[in-house]
A and B are shown apart, each in its own frame.
Chain A
Amino acid sequence: MVRIKCIALLISLLIPFSGLMGQEAYKNILIFFGDNETRPAYGRIVEGIKSAFPKGSPTTVNVILEYLDLERFSDSIHLHQVVELYNKRVRASAIDLIVTVAPGAYDALNEAGLKLLHLVPVIALEMSPQDPERYRPEMRVVELEIEWSPQKSMMHAFSLFPGYRHAMIIGGCSDSDRMFNARLLKDTSYFKDTHQFTLLTCVSIDSILEVVSRVSDSTLIFMSSFITDADSNRFSSALALGLISSESPVPVFTMSDNFIDYGGVGGHIVSFLEVGKEVGEIARDMFENDTSNGLTKISKSYYRYQYNWKELRKWEILDSKVIPADSTFFYKDFNFLTQYRWQIIGVFMFILMQAVLIYFLIRLARRQKKVSLQKAENEKLYRRLVHEDRLTLMAQLTASLAHELNQPLAAILFNAQAGLRFLASGKLDDQQVEAILSGIVEDDKRAGDIISSVRNLMKKETREKERVDLVAVIKETIRILHLDMERQSIQVIFNDSSEPVYVFGDRIQLQQVFMNLILNAAFALSSKEDRPKQIYIKLSHSNSNIIVFFEDNGPGIDEAMRLKLFDAFVTTSEDGLGIGLAICKSIVQNHGGKIIAENRPEGGAVFSITLQAFTNGK
């Protein structure tokens, strides 16, 4: 059956040759293993070799695996059949590299007379020093000796479990088992003062499992090679390890990475994956630079820190300080949360931050909406107050305004009656008609102006700001208040410059401010006994600013009152709501200006309003 398999293998490897022989970059590597495919180390080595030729690299390799199974077929018949097959059927040019893998592959093939060994470059993997005489001078050989020091693995295992003072060495009964057992046993001498060793080699598997299941807590198990037990039952080391580690209440350590898959803890062990990679590197170097020549001996350590992550977790030594940070962990990826902990935390944090951000954005949006609603509400309230204030002002002025309107009405009536009289007496001449009618027209206009300025003040709607002549606004304000001031025997003196002075604003609101300030001054003057009662309005302007002063020769502002003068509902007058000056301040500020109340050194108050001058650019 084995023979059939070998032939099948050969055929399978011959097929790709036919079509691809011509391509130089296509290389065949023939690997001879001393044992059979159940040795996990072999798989690692092949994996390592292949990894040296990744897809897209200039050389593509075809790996042919040949298992000599020397231990099982100790009669060498299988070996000779294989060698004969290759000697007869396979031309040297079909193989670019031979790799022989311990234990015993090179020597066996050499003895069996494999011709290819002399024709094709060879990489011989060994685990102990070899006699250089076994190579013939014409051979192109790279001998790679892999360091095998079980004490390194044991030392690390003990440091992982510092409290464990016992160790048990378990191994099989075959020749290679015995060889590995001996190597382990030899290295126990390093720990003879600190640890107590029990040897469990070449015993039946049942006995081993029995012992293992009852082993004391502070014991570490070191697994050697295990091909056969004392009853000559064949195992693979992997199978044996699986059985033992599942039975064991204590950690099981192996000497190389090939057992990690089967229940070993790992540790400071030989990485056959790395060995395979090294072989692959050497092979690639040979292929690409044609450097193979004579004998090259390499002795190298492939000890690496590698762990079965699940085992570390099981024995609760994940956080052990003796595990180097750059160690390799296997099976860690099974735990998604742990494997990608930082990524997950990162993603989670990102999502969280996004969520928080979104939350705050939503809140911000809501608040802005609320604020804008509030603002609109305030705006409405403000407009209402401004309007309210104007209505209050108008109410104060009703009598004066009625009189103001009576003047032109009376004049119109007088004119008309004069006209009738002249008409009746037949003495009406053209000149008189002209005088009468022009008088009526003039007075009618005047009455209309009064009504429209009153109506403007009463209007509620907001107006667009525009270019406003302050001089005109002041004059109109004085005109509206004229009779009221006369009634109170107050002189309003405006050093009127005929030059217009422009600001950008709401004419009616500015008029309202001036009206408030004049009436405020008049109120202050009402308590004054002596004459004259005077209000001076003065304008001063520079290029950028216009200041309007409202001065009176009244008693001045009480210092305690002065500071809160512009607060709402502060008043000494019984008529007003006390919002007048507060409104003034709001309106002035709304126009980008400021209003200040002071006392004059010569007595009386002065209110000054500073506004920005209107220039064409603005």
Chain B
Amino acid sequence: MESSAITVFIIDDDPSIRKSLSLLLSSHGFETECYSCSEEFLSRLPIEGIGCILLDLQMDGINGLELQEKLSQHDKQLPIIFLSGQGNISSTVRALRAGAITFLEKPCLEDDLLKAITEALTISHKRATEREAWHTARQKLMSLSPRETEVLKLVITGMLNKQVAGELNIAEHTVKLHRQHITEKLGVKSVAEIVRMTQLSGLISIT
């Protein structure tokens, strides 16, 4: 995960902003990709890895806020930092409510920009990690056999082996065997871990 590229996407209709911003970020060791409009960026999707978006508010065609809305429908959403020369309160509120990291006014200070980018990348990283964990949990849970899944559903409710055997009309010994297979397949040691993984995957509802 650490090895995959960290990219800052710059979307601004002003070429000199794109150029200078990209230069500044590269001086800090970031990879950048520049887009002159929202449409161009959308055609580039999907994007793997960690990164963030520096987004201009006002652009011809799809503007910054509209792009933010469109991106929120994608699962691998990158954090967005708005960068505008003409921020007003209503658009700032709208952007932040829709999940933007922050709203910077041009010309902005280098520190503020880096702070925002760092925050965004942290979030991006966290999201990527979570997504990875979820993905893993799902894969593992999907590898269970139907009978094992049935056992798991009862185990996470806190039932003892005997109770599970009674519920499923199978021998307690058989339940024990299934539980062993489950912990092996999911790579966990305790029931608590099984519960967390199940929750993470969102596949099985816990009543």
Contacts and interface: CB of A to CB of B under 8 A. Distances in A.
B23 A435 contact: yes
Interface in B1-43: 14, 16-17, 19-21, 23-24, 26-28
A435 B18 CA distance: 13
Nearest to A532: B61
Given A421-B28, A486-B59, A410 B85 contact: yes
B63 interface: yes
A403 B84 CA distance: 8
Contacts of B21: 411, 414
Interface in A401-449: 402-404, 406-415, 417-418, 421-422, 425, 427, 432, 435-436, 439, 442-443, 446
A204 interface: no
B59 A411 contact: no
Interface in A464-496: 483, 486-487, 489, 491
B28 A412 contact: no
B58 A414 contact: no
B58 A418 contact: no
Interface residues of A, number: 33
A356 B28 CA distance: 93
A432 B27 CA distance: 10
A400 interface: yes
Given A421-B28, A486-B60, A414 B20 contact: yes
Nearest to A432: B23
B23 A410 contact: no
A491 B60 contact: yes
**Interface core residue of B16, B59, B63 (most chain A CB under 10 Å):** B16
A489 to B, nearest CB: 7
A508 to B, nearest CB: 25
B139 to A, nearest CB: 42
A418 B85 contact: no
Nearest to B63: A489
Given A412-B20, A442-B16, A489-B63, A406 B27 contact: no
B107 interface: yes
A418 B24 contact: yes
A410 B105 CA distance: 9
Contacts of B24: 414-415, 417-418, 421
Interface string B62-86: 0100000000000000000000111
Contacts of A415: 20, 23-24
A399 interface: yes
Nearest to A488: B58
B57 to A, nearest CB: 9
Contact of B86 (A403, A436, A442, A491): A403
A553 to B, nearest CB: 16
A439 B86 contact: no
Given A415-B24, A418-B23, A407 B106 contact: yes
B19 A439 contact: yes
Contacts of A410: 17, 20, 85, 106-108
A409 B106 contact: yes
A413 B19 CA distance: 12
Among A408, A414, A432, chain B packs the most CB atoms within 10 A around the CB of A414
B184 interface: no
A268 to B, nearest CB: 115
A406 B107 contact: yes
Contact of A414 (B17, B84, B85, B105): B17
A487 B85 CA distance: 11
Interface of A: 399-400, 402-404, 406-415, 417-418, 421-422, 425, 427, 432, 435-436, 439, 442-443, 446, 483, 486-487, 489, 491
21 contacts: A403-B86, A404-B85, A406-B106, A408-B16, A409-B107, A411-B14, A411-B21, A412-B107, A414-B17, A415-B20, A415-B24, A418-B20, A421-B24, A427-B27, A439-B16, A439-B20, A443-B16, A483-B85, A486-B58, A486-B60, A489-B63
List the 9 closest pairs (A to B, CB-CB), nearest first: A410-B107, A414-B20, A421-B27, A410-B106, A403-B85, A403-B86, A406-B85, A418-B24, A411-B16
